[in-house]
Amino acid sequence: MPDRIRTLKLSLAYLPLAVPISDAKVLTGRQRPLTQVALLFAEITTEAGFEGIGFSYSKRAGGPGLFAHAREIGGDVIGEDPSDIGKLDTLLVWAGASVGRSGLATQAIAAIDVALWDLKAKRASLPLAKLLGSHRDAVPCYNTSGGFLNAPIEEVLDNAAEAVERGIGGIKIKVGQPDQLADLARVEAVRSSLPESVALMVDANQQWDRGTALRMGRQLEPFGLVWIEEPLDAYDAAGHAMLSARLDTPIASGEMLTSVAEHRALISQNSVSFLQPDAPRVGGITPFLRILALADEAGLKVAPHFAMELHLHLAAAYPGEVWVEHFDWLEPLFNERLEIADGRMLVPDRPGIGVSLSDQARAWTVETATFGG
């Protein structure tokens, strides 16, 4: 007999950050500093007693919208077979298709989709990576959370040294300041402080135009960067393709895209060497796997954005070269911690994604909705 979904619980929580965070979008006046992250959690139980947990997120704005959209359509999964993840993805996408099949709508669906995959892996008593068909038990990792522009360079250097001491294999810092000489000085200071074996990446957060990006890319060549991330607007596939063709340093992008179709545009125009999809942003694991298939066919390297607790499993299941992003921001939400050694993040052997919500996550919850019973 097939199992059936008995209950779905949705929760909206706000994770406060210790200090306001700024990247180039703040310094150029496009956004205000980041002070909190909104989390949408989905918890599913079945008639046979299995449980799954998933999450999505939004920064600066959008949390209430994610919760509202998920609450409006989430009840449609009650009574359905949780194994039919593809069917349920289609059901939820089309339930809200009038507001689009990307953006906030897919990000709301993502929490439910991830919970279904977590449940499926738990029912098989396998880590999610093993269920998907892993290619490795550990993934090279780099730290981002220590390299934001609100931190003075001395703090960035201390953060980088601490990350390397913990066993992290790469450091990414933010660039894209109005003063491009300050960017170059920042990169030089970090590169000179790191052992040669430690990788270095930079992220401009979409703040350059094509001419500036080309000039900066050429000036950054001597530093041997693993990649330059989001040098241009995220939707400028042609511009990224131009940079990829004219620079030796690889180009990375994709984190801001919210659909398979948007990633297909980057891939088809040879815009990037590193594709950076984000499962919560594209609608969950189901569409993320479609993106991985496209990336693999194109021979691209993959470095999923943020949410290491989830993306570690997905990166481990990719056959090509991968990196996973170390961001410690979400750690207070979960009872478990990921292990790092020799520059790599180890895939946990716990079933499913391998996380459970902490008491702190429950305390930060501001709204819930439950379906079924």
Q: Can you give the pLDDT of all 373 residues of the chain as single tens digits?
A: 789 999 999 999 999 999 988 888 888 888 888 899 999 999 999 999 999 999 999 998 889 999 999 999 999 999 999 999 999 999 999 888 888 888 889 999 999 999 999 999 999 999 999 999 999 999 999 999 999 999 999 999 999 999 999 999 999 999 999 999 999 999 999 999 999 999 999 999 999 999 999 999 999 999 999 999 999 999 999 999 999 999 999 999 999 999 999 999 999 999 999 999 999 999 999 999 999 999 999 999 999 999 999 999 999 999 999 999 999 999 999 999 999 999 999 999 999 999 999 999 999 999 999 999 8
Amino acid occupying residue 172: K
Query: What is the radius of gyration, based on Cα positions, of the chain?
Result: 20
d(CA 179, CA 106): 37
Amino acid occupying residue 188: E
Q: Is 174 a catalytic residue?
A: yes
| 243: Cα separation from own chain's centroid | 24
pLDDT tens digits, 194-242: 999 999 999 999 999 999 999 999 999 999 999 999 999 999 999 999 9
d(CA 81, CA 103): 27
The 8 Å CB, 24+ separation contacts for 129-135 are 129/312, 129/313, 129/314, 129/316, 129/317, 129/347, 132/289, 132/313, 132/314, 132/317, 133/317, 134/313, 134/316, 134/317, 134/347, 135/316, 135/317, 135/318, 135/319
Q: What are phi and psi of 4, to 5 degrees?
A: -135, 150
d(CA 94, CA 120): 23
Which positions make up the binding site for Mg(2+)?
Answer: 203, 229, 255
pLDDT tens digits, 153-200: 999 999 999 999 999 999 999 999 999 999 999 999 999 999 999 999
Share the mean pLDDT of the chain: 95
d(CA 286, CA 292): 10
Which positions make up the binding site?
Answer: 23-25, 59-60, 172, 203, 205, 229, 255, 325
- Taking each helix axis from N to C terminus, what angle separates 285-298 and 104-123, rounded to the nearest 10 degrees? 90
The pLDDT of residue 232 is 98
Pair of tokens at residue 211: 């001419």
Q: Which one of the listed residues 69, 130, 174, 301 is annotated catalytic? A: 174
Q: Which residues make Cβ contacts (< 8 Å) with residue 266, sequence separation at least 6?
A: 237, 240, 253, 254, 257, 272, 275
Q: Which one of the listed residues 301, 305, 311, 313 is annotated catalytic? A: 305
Domains of the chain, earliest start first: 5-126+358-372 (3.30.390.10), 129-346 (3.20.20.120)
| 259: Cα separation from own chain's centroid | 14
Q: Is 305 a catalytic residue?
A: yes
Q: Which residues make Cβ contacts (< 8 Å) with residue 188, sequence separation at least 6?
A: 223
Q: How far is CA 101 from CA 106, 257, 262, 280, in A?
A: 6, 12, 11, 14
Tokens 């880590």, residue? 127
Torsion-angle region of residue 352: left (phi > 0), alpha (psi -120 to 50) or beta?
Answer: left
Pair of tokens at residue 98: 């009038």
Contact indicator for 39, 13 with CB cutoff of 8 Å? yes
Which positions make up the binding site for substrate?
Answer: 23-25, 59-60, 172, 205, 325
